[in-house]
Amino acid sequence: MYALMVLVMDILGHLKFSSSTWMTAQVRPFLVALILYQVFLVGPDPKQMQKMVLFIVAIIGISCLINIVGLMRNPLAVRFVVGGAEGAEGRDRFTRMGISNYGFFSGLPTLLPVLFYSFRKTAQKKFKWLFGIVIFLVVWAVFLSAFTAPLLIALMALVLSIFGNVRSRRAYTFVLVAVVGLISLIYPPQLAFNHAIDGLISITPTEAVRRRLNDIKLASQEGIEVTSTGRTETSVEQRLQRVFWNVETVARYPLFGSSKNTNPEAFHLFWLYFLASFGFLGFLPFFLSWLTHIRRNKRVFDQDFWFYYVLSLLTFFTMGLIKSITGWFMYLAPLFIVPAMYYLTYEIPEPGLEATGESAVQASKGALQ
């Protein structure tokens, strides 16, 4: 339905780009991720899934390590790969070194909540070491990638994951809120935020990230002034200006959208750009696909994993609010890899006690314990 909608929009002349471009960059990765989910995660063999997901986690860790080594030698390599600043030859050279594209680094934060869940859930030291090392490598790789938004989202996802248990207990939540409230009287949140940004600026390896973090601090101190057509001074104002462009198109073409009347720069705010390009009717099949996918997972996952799964989805959707969604990994991570990681801590029933279907999955308590 989603693919058909793209073709219809192209025929009606609402797309600035060709439907084949959107199919290749957006529809194909989305559909392949859903097909992998359907093949491997609907009525799965839990034991085989554990092996497969452990292999995937190990490969992600190795990929992060290769990128870390390459980025320590060439700090701006990812931006050269994405932007083509050194031409096709330079891009190929960095790719041969193992430097990944934008989609890999932007998809990594989505994995942090479920990786932390697996780290917390398992009692076996070898698996704790594996998940702990992979979490460290993921954060380090994103830190070195010179992309500000994935770095901030990754840190936020990790902090929320660490405090997930506290958040789920009412008494601890009240204590936490009270402590934060008292601290804020002594140490104003604005000052704490600015000091935190200054700390990140001092350890950030690239000038591009330092400049954008400083723009965020300036925006918090001096405010933001944005118009739909005026010149912007900081990256924060530039990002908000893209909101104006998208909202203006949605207001003018609410049902079917029109990417031809939207500034190309607005693509960086993916969900709004999607809505501006296809309208509410065009966006509906994509939204319903996600809704069906999430509802199916809710029937399968236990309450503990569900919390971290939702954090992973929020990480992905937040990324789409402030950056572009592109590349295979950005769709594979939330649609296939994150749900598959449920089976890392799935308890395989003893012989003679096997349950079938989704009820067996719901009875899980953790295999790697």
| DSSP structure string for 148-183 | HHHHHHHHHHHHHHHTHHHHTSHHHHHHHHHHHHHH
pLDDT tens for the 369 residues of the chain, in order: 677 766 766 666 666 666 567 777 788 899 999 999 999 998 888 889 999 999 999 999 999 999 999 888 887 777 666 655 555 666 677 777 778 888 899 999 999 999 999 999 888 889 999 999 999 999 999 988 878 788 888 988 888 888 776 555 545 545 555 565 555 545 455 555 555 666 666 666 666 666 666 666 565 555 444 444 545 455 555 666 677 777 787 788 888 777 777 766 667 788 888 888 888 888 898 899 999 999 999 999 998 899 899 999 999 999 988 888 888 999 999 999 999 999 988 765 555 544 444 444 444 444 555
Query: CA dihedral in degrees (73, 79, 83, 87; nearest 10)?
Result: 0
Query: Which run of H or of E encompasses 29?
Result: helix 28-41
Please classify residue 144 by burial: count the beta carbons closer than 10 Å to its beta carbon, then call 0-12 exposed, 13-18 middle and 19+ buried: buried
**Residue 109 identity (one-letter amino acid):** P
Give the pLDDT score at 123: 81
Give the pLDDT score at 112: 96
Rounded to whole angstroms, the Cα distance separating 97 from 358 reads 43
Rounded to whole angstroms, the Cα distance separating 114 from 120 reads 10
Give the pLDDT score at 324: 83
Helix, strand, coil distribution of the chain in percent, nearest 5: 80, 0, 20
Q: Is the Cα dihedral 67, 334, 364, 35 positive or negative?
A: negative
| All structural domains of the chain with their residue ranges | 2-162+224-362
Rounded to whole angstroms, the Cα distance separating 115 from 111 reads 6
Query: Which run of H or of E encompasses 82?
Result: helix 77-83
Query: Which run of H or of E encompasses 131?
Result: helix 125-144
Residues contacting residue 266 through CB under 8 Å, at least 6 positions apart: 242, 245, 246, 249, 272, 273, 276
